[in-house]
Amino acid sequence: GAGVSQSPSNKVTEKGKDVELRCDPISGHTALYWYRQSLGQGLEFLIYFQGNSAPDKSGLPSDRFSAERTGGSVSTLTIQRTQQEDSAVYLCASSKQGGGTEAFFGQGTRLTVV
Amino acid sequence: QKEVEQNSGPLSVPEGAIASLNCTYSDRGSQSFFWYRQYSGKSPELIMSIYSNGDKEDGRFTAQLNKASQYVSLLIRDSQPSDSATYLCAVIATGTASKLTFGTGTRLQVTL
């Protein structure tokens, strides 16, 4: 596709349920990021994939959060046993290579846990 | 010390004035620097990238990089109300496997 695609755009889930958020990066982009943004707050780094290297998971807030990237392309962020504090916009970005090139964001997934 | 620091603002400038947004970073070896604009309720949009010392101009936007002083700035000339947004500075630091690190952003308000 022309840009980074995220789905769904909006997700409402009940507390305690698991959710999966999908990110389809720009074709050929080897680096992929996940960020979280709560209302009125800055970007919170979650996880970074770069090619075949082990992902940088240092930003994942708890073991309820996990992410995978299959075949170096599509990525899925999974949140288990969702809590109300997980409500936020989850943003995905990709870049052509890890060093020196620009990253482009998808439109985000707004997650609401009720 | 945060890796990338920005004043949260809001920075208020009148229409037609120059808006100056600043960012400092902690890793002296950083090589890549970016400015993103984020409108309320939207995702960040890349507006400028700069990799070497000096100025880089693109339309009404000028990015300035000073590696010796470890700061990068964004100037917006002839500010318009449509420039009102949060501006995010991002840096790729050395030794981070090229990971992009963002500042918390500066909110700019352009007043009529």
In tens, the pLDDT along A99-110 reads 567 899 999 999
Q: In the structure encoding, which two tokens stand for residue A106, read together?
A: 């998808």
Give the residue among B94, B108, B97 at the shortest CA–CA distance from B35.
B108
What pLDDT was estimated at residue A98?
Answer: 55
Is A50 at the interface with chain B, CB within 8 A?
yes
Residue B47: its H or E element: strand B45-50
Which of B44, B46, B97 is the closest to A56 by Cβ?
A: B97
Q: Do A43 and B88 touch (CB under 8 A)?
A: yes
What residue in A sits closest to B95 (Cα-Cα)? A99
- Degrees to nearest 5, angle at CA A28 with A49 and B98: 40
pLDDT at A74 over 60: yes
Query: Under a CB-based contact definition with an 8 Å cutoff, are residues B25 and B71 in contact?
Result: yes
Query: Under a CB-based contact definition with an 8 Å cutoff, are residues B16 and B78 in contact?
Result: yes
Chain A, residues 75-114, CB within 8 A of chain B, namely 89, 91, 93, 95, 97-108
Q: Do A100 and B98 touch (CB under 8 A)?
A: yes
- Contacts of residue B52 in chain A, CB cutoff 8 Å? none
Strands (E), chain B: 4-5, 11-14, 19-25, 32-38, 45-50, 54-58, 61-66, 71-76, 85-92, 100-102, 106-111
Mean pLDDT across A31-42: 93
pLDDT at A1 over 70: no
Residue A62 is which amino acid? S
Query: Under a CB-based contact definition with an 8 Å cutoff, are residues A54 and B98 in contact?
Result: no
Q: In the structure encoding, which two tokens stand for residue B61, read together?
A: 């936007």
Q: Distance between CA B34 and CA B14 in Å, rounded?
A: 25
Q: Rounded to a whole number, what is the distance in Å from the CA of B105 to chain A's nearest CA?
A: 7
Residue A69: its H or E element: strand A65-69
What residue in B sits closest to A42 (Cα-Cα)? B104
pLDDT at A46 over 60: yes
pLDDT at A78 over 80: yes
What pLDDT was estimated at residue B98?
Answer: 72
Tens digit of pLDDT at every position of chain B (112 positions): 678 999 989 999 999 999 999 999 999 988 899 999 999 999 999 999 999 999 999 999 999 999 999 999 999 999 999 999 999 999 987 766 678 889 999 999 999 9
Q: Distance between CA A54 and CA A49 in Å, rounded?
A: 7
- The residue whose two tokens read 């990338």 is B4
